[in-house]
């Protein structure tokens, strides 16, 4: 059974940093791409970043390029989202999701329960 | 970016009746290299993450009841629930993975009439 569990969310001030972690089990982590998708009541579901099975390919939503960085540690079956220079518009529930393929080019097939990030003064 | 537009925003259907959700993309999602439409459907219930129902526009995910079916091609797609059950009350999203940034429809809320 695939399990995806996010952690690291919280309330932070604008301009500060946060690191989200996503632990996984139940599948061969090093064989699949992984993604972060966020959700807000106003903007709905928004794909944020994706990483290939070996970390060699990373793709980002334009509005987060240079501020958010996706990475992975295959020895720990964990994917990360480093979030810097946070803005109010980054406030959302952040979901970690398992890709269907190694490259992270195709849909996601399993989601975690999400972690809430609130950027506010 | 590819814009995904769903219709209607909400619909109420009697138990056992058919529910049909439409999704239109601003450009074709058909990829000739693999002969597939890069379109998925997800179901989200309150307080839960999205759950994959359909991918490649019409392939049902393992374990998903066969009352859920997907159709369409290129820019116009449908999700049909044949014989609505009480547990199908949820918000449904279409999603394109043809190109990044991946994008989602705004969601369609399905309720019981």
Which pairing describes strands B76-82 and B68-73: parallel, antiparallel, or unpaired?
antiparallel
Q: What is the pLDDT of residue A104?
A: 85
Q: What is the pLDDT of residue A78?
A: 98
Q: What is the pLDDT of residue B47?
A: 94
Q: Which residue of A has its CA nearest to B91?
A: A44
Helix, strand, coil percentages (3-state) for chain B, rounded to 5, are 5, 55, 45
Burial class of residue A4 in the structure, from the number of CB atoms within 10 Å of its CB (0-12 exposed, 13-18 middle, 19+ buried): buried
pLDDT-derived band at A10, boundaries 50, 70, 90: very high
| pLDDT tens, position by position, A13-37 | 999 999 999 999 999 999 999 999 9
Check if A104 contacts B (Cβ < 8 Å).
no
**Residues of chain B scoring pLDDT < 70:** none
Q: Which residue of B has its CA nearest to A109?
A: B52
pLDDT at A43 > cutoff 90: no
Mean pLDDT across the stretch A94-117?
95
């Amino acid at each position: 059974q695939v399990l995806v569990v996010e952690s690291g969310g919280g309330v932070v001030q604008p301009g500060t940093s946060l690191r989200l972690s996503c632990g996984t089990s139940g599948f061969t982590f090093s064989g699949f791409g992984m993604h972060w998708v966020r959700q807000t009541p106003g903007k709905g579901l928004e794909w944020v970043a994706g990483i290939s099975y070996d970390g060699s390919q990373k793709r980002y939503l334009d509005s987060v390029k240079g501020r958010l960085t996706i990475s992975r540690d295959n020895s720990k079956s964990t994917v990360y989202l480093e979030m810097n220079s946070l803005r109010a518009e980054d406030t959302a529930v952040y979901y970690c999701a398992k890709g269907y393929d190694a490259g992270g080019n195709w849909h996601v097939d399993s989601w975690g329960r999400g972690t809430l990030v609130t950027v506010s003064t | 970016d590819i814009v995904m537009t769903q219709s209607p925003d909400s619909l109420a259907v009697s138990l056992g009746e058919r529910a049909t959700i439409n999704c239109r993309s601003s450009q074709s999602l058909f990829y000739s290299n693999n002969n597939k439409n890069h379109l998925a459907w997800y179901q989200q219930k309150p307080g839960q993450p999205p759950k994959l129902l359909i991918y490649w526009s019409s392939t049902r995910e393992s374990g998903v009841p066969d009352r859920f079916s997907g159709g369409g091609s290129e820019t116009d797609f449908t999700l049909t629930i044949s014989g609505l059950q009480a547990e199908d009350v949820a918000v449904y999203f279409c999603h394109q993975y043809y190109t990044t940034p991946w994008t989602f429809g705004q969601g369609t809320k399905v309720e019981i009439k």
